[in-house]
Amino acid sequence: MTAKAKKEYDVIIIGGGPAGLSAGIYTSRARLNSLLIERGAVGGQIADAEMVENYAGFAEGVSGVELGRLMQQQAAKYGLNITIAEVTGLELKKDKKVVKTTKGDFTAKAVIIASGSERGKLGTPGERELTGKGVSYCATCDAPFFKEKPVAVVGGGDVAITEALHLAKFSSKVILIHRRDRLRATRILEERAQSEPKIEFLWDTVVEKIEGEDVVRQLNLRQLKTGKKSALDVAGVFIATGFKPNTGYLKGFLPLDKTGFIKTNDRMETKIPGVFAAGDIRLNSARQAITAAGDGATAAENAEEFLSQ
């Protein structure tokens, strides 16, 4: 029976990234009637990665799109039901959990929350107005539009460095703007960035405004240590400052930390029995595809144990 026709399941999984798909593989193999709800493209943020080099089993690397496709194919093989809808809330109804969506309500005895996180915004003037007009959050998606043009990347973690390295294949110059005096990225990525001649670094610097009428033309910058202000001419700016958990629909249902992440134990259990969380949405997640997949498997196994009690 399809997800459209059926409303009750053993397990509902919210989110179709590596955590959710891995959970779906495990619950479906356990012969639990399982539904995965995803609001966008199945595969999650991993689909934005041009090449995933650190996922075990792919010695030559694998594109994020292909990795997501293979996970979905494997989950479907074991009978996982998938529907595209946005989750708007969760409620408890006796011994069942009600998952409210834009396609109606679904109920389950156990829920695995794996809706991940989304890229953070700067919140500076011009960012919203020029999004899609030079302001971007995905180098894999938009780098070809900036061939032989100067661009900036804002951030200092793994995501920012990965974006900068990808942009260096297309742009004439990549200026990485970071509010601290050192990177937070892993050493191997830092080494790659330092050895890439197209990448330049602006330390202790923040973007105060993004200028441009129809497209990005300039960034207004401020040096944090000296207070000196300057302007930087660029054709585009890629925001890579971190992630915000997709937990807005959980407020009032689950306790969240001050930034919105879900607290779990090592069994992926939340404060509510039968409700689990996996992947980037968890507090202190490593935010890696392979650890998210492990979280999903752990949550699924413990959901199966919960249902057997």
Residues identified as active-site:
138, 141-142
CA within 13 Å, CB half, 142: 20
Query: Is the CB of residue 157 less than 8 Å from the CB of residue 187?
Result: no
Could you tell me the end-to-end alpha-carbon distance of the chain, in angstroms, rounded to an integer? 26
| Structure-block tokens of residue 252 | 């009032």
Query: Is the CB of residue 198 less than 8 Å from the CB of residue 172?
Result: yes
Q: How far apart are CA 278 and CA 294, in angstroms?
A: 8
Query: Is the CB of residue 277 less than 8 Å from the CB of residue 245?
Result: no
Query: Is the CB of residue 43 less than 8 Å from the CB of residue 69?
Result: yes
DSSP letter for each residue of 103-171: TEEEEEEEEEE---EEE-----TTTTTTBTTTEES-HHHHGGGGTTSEEEEE--SHHHHHHHHHHTTTS
Burial grade of 196 (CB within 10 A; 0-12, 13-18, 19 or more): middle
How many Å separate Cα 118 from the centre of its chain? 5
SS3 68: helix
Q: How far apart are CA 46 and CA 48, in angstroms?
A: 5
Report how far apart, in Å, the C-alpha atoms of 62 and of each of 17, 49, 75, 307 are. 15, 9, 18, 35
Per the document, the length of the chain is 309
